Protein backbone atom coordinates (compact mmCIF):
# COMPACT_ATOMS: atom_id res chain seq x y z
CA UNK A 1 0.00 0.00 0.00
CA UNK A 2 1.43 3.46 -0.91
CA UNK A 3 2.55 5.65 2.01
CA UNK A 4 -0.15 8.27 1.33
CA UNK A 5 -2.88 5.59 1.50
CA UNK A 6 -1.51 4.19 4.76
CA UNK A 7 -1.46 7.65 6.34
CA UNK A 8 -4.99 8.35 5.13
CA UNK A 9 -6.17 5.11 6.72
CA UNK A 10 -4.55 6.04 10.04
CA UNK A 11 -6.12 9.50 10.01
CA UNK A 12 -9.51 8.00 9.19
CA UNK A 13 -9.20 5.61 12.13
CA UNK A 14 -8.40 8.46 14.50
CA UNK A 15 -11.32 10.50 13.18
CA UNK A 16 -13.64 7.69 14.23
CA UNK A 17 -14.15 9.27 17.69
CA UNK A 18 -17.67 10.48 16.95
CA UNK A 19 -18.72 11.23 20.54
CA UNK A 20 -16.66 14.43 20.73
CA UNK A 21 -18.04 15.70 17.43
CA UNK A 22 -21.62 15.13 18.55
CA UNK A 23 -21.00 17.07 21.72
CA UNK A 24 -19.42 19.92 19.78
CA UNK A 25 -22.37 20.08 17.38
CA UNK A 26 -24.62 21.16 20.27
CA UNK A 27 -22.44 24.18 21.10
CA UNK A 28 -23.77 27.56 19.98
CA UNK A 29 -20.73 29.38 18.63
CA UNK A 30 -20.27 33.15 19.07
CA UNK A 31 -20.02 33.63 15.31
CA UNK A 32 -19.30 37.37 15.32
CA UNK A 33 -16.53 36.97 17.90
CA UNK A 34 -14.98 34.22 15.81
CA UNK A 35 -15.14 36.34 12.65
CA UNK A 36 -13.46 39.28 14.37
CA UNK A 37 -10.70 37.04 15.71
CA UNK A 38 -10.10 35.50 12.29
CA UNK A 39 -10.01 38.95 10.69
CA UNK A 40 -7.40 40.11 13.22
CA UNK A 41 -5.26 37.00 12.64
CA UNK A 42 -5.37 37.43 8.86
CA UNK A 43 -3.98 40.95 9.35
CA UNK A 44 -1.05 39.61 11.35
CA UNK A 45 -2.50 40.69 14.70
CA UNK A 46 -2.29 38.98 18.08
CA UNK A 47 -5.32 37.73 19.99
CA UNK A 48 -6.22 36.69 23.54
CA UNK A 49 -8.68 33.80 23.46
CA UNK A 50 -10.06 30.80 25.41
CA UNK A 51 -8.69 27.33 24.62
CA UNK A 52 -9.51 23.78 25.69
CA UNK A 53 -7.33 24.31 28.79
CA UNK A 54 -6.68 27.98 29.67
CA UNK A 55 -6.79 31.50 28.25
CA UNK A 56 -4.03 31.98 25.72
CA UNK A 57 -2.26 34.53 23.56
CA UNK A 58 -2.01 33.57 19.93
CA UNK A 59 -1.39 34.53 16.33
CA UNK A 60 -1.12 33.00 12.88
CA UNK A 61 1.52 30.30 13.35
CA UNK A 62 2.83 30.83 9.82
CA UNK A 63 3.45 34.57 10.32
CA UNK A 64 7.03 35.22 11.53
CA UNK A 65 6.43 38.84 12.56
CA UNK A 66 3.25 37.98 14.46
CA UNK A 67 5.09 35.26 16.38
CA UNK A 68 7.82 37.76 17.24
CA UNK A 69 5.14 40.04 18.68
CA UNK A 70 3.84 37.24 20.91
CA UNK A 71 7.36 36.76 22.28
CA UNK A 72 7.47 40.48 23.08
CA UNK A 73 4.05 40.44 24.74
CA UNK A 74 5.05 37.50 26.92
CA UNK A 75 8.55 38.88 27.55
CA UNK A 76 9.70 35.38 26.75
CA UNK A 77 13.12 34.10 25.77
CA UNK A 78 12.98 33.24 22.02
CA UNK A 79 14.77 29.97 22.77
CA UNK A 80 11.57 28.77 24.49
CA UNK A 81 9.12 27.80 21.79
CA UNK A 82 5.32 27.84 21.85
CA UNK A 83 2.62 25.23 21.34
CA UNK A 84 0.48 25.53 18.23
CA UNK A 85 -3.09 24.36 17.77
CA UNK A 86 -4.61 22.67 14.72
CA UNK A 87 -8.26 21.88 14.16
CA UNK A 88 -7.97 18.42 12.61
CA UNK A 89 -5.72 15.47 11.91
CA UNK A 90 -5.55 16.53 8.26
CA UNK A 91 -4.12 19.90 9.31
CA UNK A 92 -1.63 18.18 11.61
CA UNK A 93 -0.44 16.12 8.66
CA UNK A 94 0.08 19.26 6.56
CA UNK A 95 2.56 20.77 9.01
CA UNK A 96 4.66 17.71 9.93
CA UNK A 97 6.74 15.94 7.29
CA UNK A 98 5.90 12.51 8.68
CA UNK A 99 3.63 11.88 11.66
CA UNK A 100 4.93 8.70 13.35
CA UNK A 101 2.68 5.64 13.51
CA UNK A 102 2.92 5.73 17.30
CA UNK A 103 1.54 9.28 17.33
CA UNK A 104 -1.55 8.22 15.35
CA UNK A 105 -2.15 5.44 17.85
CA UNK A 106 -1.76 7.75 20.84
CA UNK A 107 -4.14 10.28 19.27
CA UNK A 108 -6.67 7.54 18.65
CA UNK A 109 -6.68 6.49 22.31
CA UNK A 110 -6.33 9.93 23.89
CA UNK A 111 -9.28 11.42 25.82
CA UNK A 112 -7.76 14.58 27.34
CA UNK A 113 -5.91 17.64 25.98
CA UNK A 114 -2.61 16.30 24.67
CA UNK A 115 0.30 18.12 23.07
CA UNK A 116 2.79 16.08 21.06
CA UNK A 117 6.27 17.26 20.09
CA UNK A 118 7.04 16.13 16.53
CA UNK A 119 10.18 15.99 14.41
CA UNK A 120 10.57 17.95 11.19
CA UNK A 121 7.77 20.53 11.06
CA UNK A 122 7.16 22.28 7.75
CA UNK A 123 5.43 25.40 6.37
CA UNK A 124 5.49 27.04 9.81
CA UNK A 125 7.09 30.27 11.08
CA UNK A 126 10.78 29.59 11.60
CA UNK A 127 10.81 31.23 15.03
CA UNK A 128 8.39 28.56 16.29
CA UNK A 129 10.71 25.68 15.42
CA UNK A 130 13.19 24.62 18.12
CA UNK A 131 16.90 24.20 17.44
CA UNK A 132 16.46 20.42 17.28
CA UNK A 133 13.89 20.91 14.47
CA UNK A 134 10.85 19.95 16.55
CA UNK A 135 7.45 21.54 17.13
CA UNK A 136 4.75 21.03 19.78
CA UNK A 137 1.24 20.64 18.34
CA UNK A 138 -2.16 19.95 19.91
CA UNK A 139 -5.24 18.90 17.96
CA UNK A 140 -7.83 20.92 19.82
CA UNK A 141 -11.42 19.86 20.42
CA UNK A 142 -12.45 23.27 21.74
CA UNK A 143 -15.29 24.58 19.52
CA UNK A 144 -14.17 28.22 19.54
CA UNK A 145 -10.55 27.33 18.78
CA UNK A 146 -11.60 24.99 16.02
CA UNK A 147 -13.84 27.64 14.47
CA UNK A 148 -11.06 30.24 14.55
CA UNK A 149 -8.52 27.86 13.02
CA UNK A 150 -11.00 26.72 10.39
CA UNK A 151 -11.72 30.34 9.45
CA UNK A 152 -8.02 31.19 9.25
CA UNK A 153 -7.20 27.90 7.48
CA UNK A 154 -3.91 27.85 9.35
CA UNK A 155 -2.70 26.75 12.81
CA UNK A 156 -2.50 29.27 15.62
CA UNK A 157 -0.02 29.86 18.44
CA UNK A 158 -1.23 29.00 21.95
CA UNK A 159 0.70 30.29 24.97
CA UNK A 160 -0.77 31.05 28.38
CA UNK A 161 -2.03 34.61 28.91
CA UNK A 162 0.60 35.73 31.40
CA UNK A 163 4.09 37.16 31.42
CA UNK A 164 6.91 34.62 31.44
CA UNK A 165 7.60 33.41 34.98
CA UNK A 166 4.12 34.29 36.26
CA UNK A 167 1.33 31.82 37.00
CA UNK A 168 -1.15 31.16 34.18
CA UNK A 169 -4.59 32.76 34.76
CA UNK A 170 -7.32 30.53 36.18
CA UNK A 171 -10.10 32.71 34.76
CA UNK A 172 -10.45 35.75 32.53
CA UNK A 173 -10.58 38.00 35.59
CA UNK A 174 -7.07 36.83 36.52
CA UNK A 175 -5.51 38.18 33.31
CA UNK A 176 -3.74 41.47 33.98
CA UNK A 177 -5.09 44.59 32.29
CA UNK A 178 -1.56 45.47 31.24
CA UNK A 179 -1.29 42.20 29.32
CA UNK A 180 -4.71 42.70 27.68
CA UNK A 181 -3.55 46.11 26.49
CA UNK A 182 -0.55 44.55 24.75
CA UNK A 183 -2.72 42.23 22.65
CA UNK A 184 -4.38 43.53 19.49
CA UNK A 185 -7.71 41.72 19.92
CA UNK A 186 -9.32 40.22 23.05
CA UNK A 187 -12.08 37.58 23.08
CA UNK A 188 -13.84 37.95 26.42
CA UNK A 189 -15.51 34.54 26.23
CA UNK A 190 -15.88 31.84 28.89
CA UNK A 191 -13.82 28.68 28.81
CA UNK A 192 -15.80 25.70 27.53
CA UNK A 193 -14.57 23.80 30.60
CA UNK A 194 -13.16 25.20 33.83
CA UNK A 195 -10.45 23.86 36.11
CA UNK A 196 -8.86 21.90 33.28
CA UNK A 197 -5.17 21.21 33.96
CA UNK A 198 -2.54 22.09 31.34
CA UNK A 199 -2.28 19.60 28.51
CA UNK A 200 -0.01 16.62 28.86
CA UNK A 201 3.09 16.90 26.67
CA UNK A 202 4.91 13.98 25.12
CA UNK A 203 7.64 13.79 22.51
CA UNK A 204 7.27 11.13 19.85
CA UNK A 205 10.28 10.91 17.56
CA UNK A 206 10.40 9.42 14.10
CA UNK A 207 12.65 6.65 15.38
CA UNK A 208 9.75 5.36 17.51
CA UNK A 209 10.92 6.65 20.89
CA UNK A 210 8.50 8.39 23.22
CA UNK A 211 9.29 10.64 26.18
CA UNK A 212 6.84 12.17 28.67
CA UNK A 213 7.66 15.88 29.12
CA UNK A 214 4.64 16.85 31.23
CA UNK A 215 2.03 14.52 32.72
Each domain of the chain, given as residue ranges in start order, spans: 3-214
**What CATH number has the domain spanning 3-214?**
3.90.870.10
Rounded CA separation 196/11 (Å):
27
Model confidence over 5-44: pLDDT tens digits?
555 555 554 543 433 444 444 568 899 999 999 999 999 9
CA gap 66, 81 in Å, rounded: 14
CB 62 within 8 A of CB 155: yes
Count CB atoms within 10 A of the CB of residue 88.
16
Calculate mean pLDDT across residues 71-97: 95
pLDDT score at 22:
42
Q: What pLDDT was estimated at residue 81?
A: 87
Q: What is the pLDDT of residue 23?
A: 45
Q: Specify the pLDDT at position 12.
A: 55
Burial (CB count <10 Å: 0-12, 13-18, 19+), residue 124: buried
Nearest CA among 155, 147, 171 for reference residue 53: 171
pLDDT at 27: 63
- pLDDT for 26 equals 58
Instruction: Note the pLDDT tens digit of each residue in 186-212.
Output: 999 999 888 787 889 999 999 989 999
Whether the per-residue pLDDT at 176 is higher than 80: the answer is: yes
If pLDDT is split at 50, 70 and 90, which confidence band does 56 have?
Answer: very high
Average pLDDT, the chain: 89
pLDDT, residue 62, reads: 98
Indicate whether 181 pLDDT > 50.
yes
For residue 22, the surrounding DSSP H or E stretch is: helix 18-25
Q: What percent of the chain has pLDDT over 70?
A: 87
Amino acid sequence: MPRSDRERNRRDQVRGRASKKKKEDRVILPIEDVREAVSALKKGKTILYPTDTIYAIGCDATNYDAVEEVYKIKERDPSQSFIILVDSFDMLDRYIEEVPDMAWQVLKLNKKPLTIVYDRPKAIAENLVKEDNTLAIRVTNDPVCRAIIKGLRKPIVSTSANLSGENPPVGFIDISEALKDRVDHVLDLPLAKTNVPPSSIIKISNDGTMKILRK
